[in-house]
Amino acid sequence: MNIQRKEDSAITLCDDSLSKLPAEIARPTYDRSALTAGIVHIGLGNFHRAHQAWYLHQLMQQGLALDWAIIGAGVRAGDAAQREKLAAQDYLTTLIQLDPSKTTAEVIGPMIDFVPVQETNAALIKQMTDPAIRIVALTVTEGGYYIDPATKGFDTDHPEIKHDAAEPDTPVTAFGAMIAALKMRRATGVGPFSCMSCDNLQGNGAILRQTIVSLARLSDPALADWIDQHCSFPNSMVDCIVPATGPKELELVKSLGINDASPVTHENFRQWVIEDDFCAGRPDWDKVGAMFTDNVHDFEAMKIRVLNGGHQIISNAGELLSIETIAGCMANDAVRGLFEKVARLEILPHVKEVPGMTPANYVTLISGRFANPRIVDTTRRVAFDGSSRHPGFLIPSIHDGIAKGTPISGLALVEALWARMCAGHREDGSAIIPNDPFWDELQATALAAKTDPAAWLAQRQYYGSLAAHATFAPSFTQWLDMIWERGTAAAIAHYLQD
């Protein structure tokens, strides 16, 4: 009854209504009208607001970093809808923490604007030329950096890259816009800004440097050299499970007494490990729980191999078994067992201990986080973009296992599950809606692999030399044949019994 009353009297979120929110909802204690911008963030989705923006909000709650407010940005047509939603509520966001034992919520306000979304990115470029902007950050997904999947180098053949190389003053990519802004800053003497990737890529700063410098070099080699020399590209590891927002989340925030058109739910865990390499200054995020270190790589490797790799392990199996959520996957003994065994026997041998966490304890931590029933993280969302995530999160462990002589059978099974999933239908006959930028190609290959498993491994952009490896290739073939003949559950059971 109490929840219904709150829904009926929910307060529409905006600056003027902050004082009217239910007393238990935390809210900004700083004067938002006094904030000035220091960061442009491109790709302003749920994860950014639950993670990087939250850390900045915590600083502002202490009266710090008031000149580091965020201006949001996007380069895709869909970003315009997000801009409209957030502008209507003065760029405030309700964060809802879903602890297994309780629900808590807070409203954060470090974002103060969102530049218009334009095909030419003129407004974004102009904003990034402002001397007050000292950091440009991005969350554009793992597959958004124009990496050639075979060489891991920069993909100069992508149509969008070709456009930006030929028309650098009217770029269509975020990276082209950053280069155009840096060109103006160099010409006017404003100087560089730090370029900070917040995506799940090992060496994300180095990858961002590769993308920006390589793209700049196609049209202006001197500018590319200036960017490479003067801009900084800190590597970072980011971690917080943040589901997509749908009807359930909109109802949940309303039940808490708030009308928020774009709320964010998240787990009760955050981690941010950052290389302290900022050419134009930075907020003191370490005062609110982030860690600055020169050893980001080991933290990255642990998280990417176990958490991000683990997500692919369970989501591909879960899709085939028609399990809708990640927590549901972990409630399935077979799927949970698959994750635990592959992680401990085949991934952990290649993961180093980091301060405060052993690899074995990290697997236990991740198991608990995945199993949190309050986090309605869909299997489909986690399985998205396997063409980027398998090469980034799982295949490196296969190569390490081959080099070190550790087991790789479970990883071969996981790749076979991905191949079977890409055939486009679950074991109950229901269709899997296209879930990858290269879905058509993957589906055609997956269907061919039903009778010729080698066809899947022949995708050298993902597997390279693994197609001919004496151990991995036969193991993959065995598993894919078994999955098609006997089913996913039987194949997993066979692996767990070995």
pTM listed for this prediction: 0.89
Tell me, letter by letter, the H, E, C secondary structure of 310-363. HHHHHHHHHHHCCCCEHHHHHHCHHHHHHHHHHHHHHHHHHCCCECCECHHHHH
Residue-level pLDDT at 2: 41
The whole-number average pLDDT for the span 2-19 is: 79
203: pLDDT strictly greater than 60 = yes
Residue-level pLDDT at 3: 44
274: pLDDT strictly greater than 70 = yes
Instruction: Specify the domain boundaries for CATH 3.40.50.720 within the chain.
Output: 2-294
Tens digits of residue pLDDT in 118-132: 999 999 999 999 999
Tens digits of residue pLDDT in 453-471: 999 999 999 999 999 999 9
Write out the two tokens for 198: 């917040």
Rounded to 5 degrees, φ, ψ at 397 are -70, -30
pLDDT band with cut points at 50, 70 and 90 for residue 400 = very high
For 95, 99, 105, the CA distances from 3, given in Å and listed in that order, are 18, 18, 14
Starting at the edge strand that comes first in sequence, how are the strands of the sheet with 93-99 ordered? 102-108, 93-99, 264-266
Residue-level pLDDT at 7: 64
Tell me how far apart the alpha carbons of residues 416 and 150 are, in angstroms, rounded to a whole number. 20
The distance of Cα 45 from the centroid of its chain, to the nearest Å, equals 10
Other CB atoms within 10 Å distance of the CB of residue 426 = 18
Q: What angle do CA 335, 337, 343 make, to 5 degrees?
A: 105
Tell me how far apart the alpha carbons of residues 285 and 269 are, in angstroms, rounded to a whole number. 16
Tens digits of residue pLDDT in 404-452: 999 999 999 999 999 999 999 999 999 999 999 999 999 999 999 999 9
Write out the two tokens for 190: 């404003």
The whole-number average pLDDT for the span 397-403 is: 97
User: In terms of DSSP bridges, do strands 258-259 and 236-239 run parallel, antiparallel, or are they unpaired?
Assistant: unpaired
28: pLDDT strictly greater than 90 = yes
Tens digits of residue pLDDT in 146-164: 998 778 899 999 999 999 9
Write out the two tokens for 447: 């269907």
pLDDT band with cut points at 50, 70 and 90 for residue 12 = very high
Write out the two tokens for 183: 């060109």
Tell me how far apart the alpha carbons of residues 201 and 308 are, in angstroms, rounded to a whole number. 10
Q: What angle do CA 87, 90, 95 make, to 5 degrees?
A: 100
Distant-in-sequence, close-in-space partners of 331: CB < 8 Å, separation ≥ 6: 371, 373
Instruction: Specify the domain boundaries for CATH 1.10.1040.10 within the chain.
Output: 297-497
How many helices, marked H, and strands, marked E, lie in the chain?
A: 24, 13
- Provide the H-helix boundaries in 26-78: 46-50, 52-61
The distance of Cα 374 from the centroid of its chain, to the nearest Å, equals 20
Tell me how far apart the alpha carbons of residues 409 and 401 are, in angstroms, rounded to a whole number. 10
Starting at the edge strand that comes first in sequence, how are the strands of the sheet with 271-274 ordered? 236-239, 271-274, 291-292
Tens digits of residue pLDDT in 278-289: 999 999 999 999
Residue-level pLDDT at 6: 62
With b meaning 16 or more CB within 10 Å and e meaning fewer, what string describes 214-234? bbbbbbbeebbebbeeebbbb
The widest CA-to-CA distance across the chain, in whole angstroms, is 67
Burial grade of 7 (CB within 10 A; 0-12, 13-18, 19 or more): middle
Tens digits of residue pLDDT in 61-78: 999 999 999 999 999 888
CA dihedral (401, 236, 352, 308) positive or negative:
negative
The whole-number average pLDDT for the span 304-329 is: 97
Q: What percent of the chain has pLDDT over 70?
A: 98
Does the structural domain 297-497 have CATH classification 3.40.50.1170? no
Does the structural domain 2-294 have CATH classification 3.40.50.2300? no
Contact 79, 117 (CB under 8 A): yes
Place of tokens 């030419």: 120
Tens digits of residue pLDDT in 331-384: 999 999 999 999 999 999 999 999 999 999 999 999 999 999 999 999 999 999
- Provide the H-helix boundaries in 372-422: 379-383, 386-389, 395-404, 409-421
Tell me how far apart the alpha carbons of residues 373 and 377 are, in angstroms, rounded to a whole number. 9
Other CB atoms within 10 Å distance of the CB of residue 404 = 10
* SS3 category, 100: coil
* End-to-end CA separation in angstroms for the chain: 53
Residue-level pLDDT at 1: 30
Starting at the edge strand that comes first in sequence, how are the strands of the sheet with 111-114 ordered? 111-114, 69-73, 37-42, 135-138, 194-197
Q: Which of 426, 431, 443 is nearest to 487 (CA)?
A: 426
* SS3 category, 448: helix
* SS3 category, 103: strand
Quote the mean pLDDT of the chain. 95
Distant-in-sequence, close-in-space partners of 471: CB < 8 Å, separation ≥ 6: 402, 408
Residue-level pLDDT at 241: 95
Residue-level pLDDT at 142: 83
pLDDT band with cut points at 50, 70 and 90 for residue 143 = confident
Write out the two tokens for 295: 């050893």
